[in-house]
A and B are shown apart, each in its own frame.
Chain A
Amino acid sequence: AQSVSQHNHHVILSEAASLELGCNYSYGGTVNLFWYVQYPGQHLQLLLKYFSGDPLVKGIKGFEAEFIKSKFSFNLRKPSVQWSDTAEYFCAVKGNAGNMLTFGGGTRLMVKP
């Protein structure tokens, strides 16, 4: 069965610091990869996705993620975080076994003003 690991459960940064959140998955076939964000009091929203093509994908609000197939990774990055980026971030994978998403445990990001 496929699984997704997010190694950082809690991250605290100051504004303007750079961000990288790790995501590794355990599925050897073709995958679709996603990052979702959940701001306080709001529902899950899609941040960015990778289906195929350029492994460096750009999403909303200045976020990007790089798919490295050899490392089974899809890390999320942002060069300079803002207080408004405080949220919980979830990495998700869809493999060929079905159409459901398999989610990581989430990373809570707190950005100090």
Chain B
Amino acid sequence: GAGVSQSPSNKVTEKGKDVELRCDPISGHTALYWYRQRLGQGLEFLIYFQGNSAPDKSGLPSDRFSAERTGESVSTLTIQRTQQEDSAVYLCASSLRLTENIQYFGAGTRLSVL
């Protein structure tokens, strides 16, 4: 596609439910990143993938958060047993390769946990 695509654009869920967020990177981009942006704050790194290498999960805030990516395509971020503090905009970015540091961002998924 022309850009990074994320779905859904908005998600409202109840505390304790699981949610799954999707990211379609730019075609041909081998690196994919997930960030979280809480209200009024900057972006926090969560996880990144590069090709078939083991992902860097160092930014995941708890074991309720996980992400998968199949090859160099779609990625899903899963949050289990959501909490109110998980409310944020979840942003996905991709870059042409790991050494190409220009990251292109999607529009994000706004998650609201009631």
Tally of chain A residues near chain B (CB < 8 A): 24
Tell me if A87 counts as interface (CB < 8 A to partner B): no
Residue of B nearest to A6 (CB): B42
B50 touches A43 (CB 8 A): no
A100 an interface residue at 8 Å Cβ cutoff?
yes
Measured CA separation A102–B40 after assembly (Å): 16
**B43 interface hit (Cβ, 8 Å):** yes
Enumerate 17 A-B pairs (CB-CB under 8 Å) in ascending A order: A4-B42, A34-B101, A34-B102, A42-B107, A43-B3, A44-B105, A46-B104, A51-B101, A98-B48, A99-B33, A99-B48, A99-B50, A100-B33, A101-B35, A101-B45, A105-B41, A105-B42
Which chain B residues have a beta carbon within 8 Å of chain A's beta carbons?
A: 3-4, 31, 33, 35, 40-45, 48, 50, 56, 58-59, 91, 93, 98, 101-108
Residues of A within 8 A of B (CB): 4, 6, 32, 34, 36, 42-46, 49, 51, 90, 92, 94, 98-106
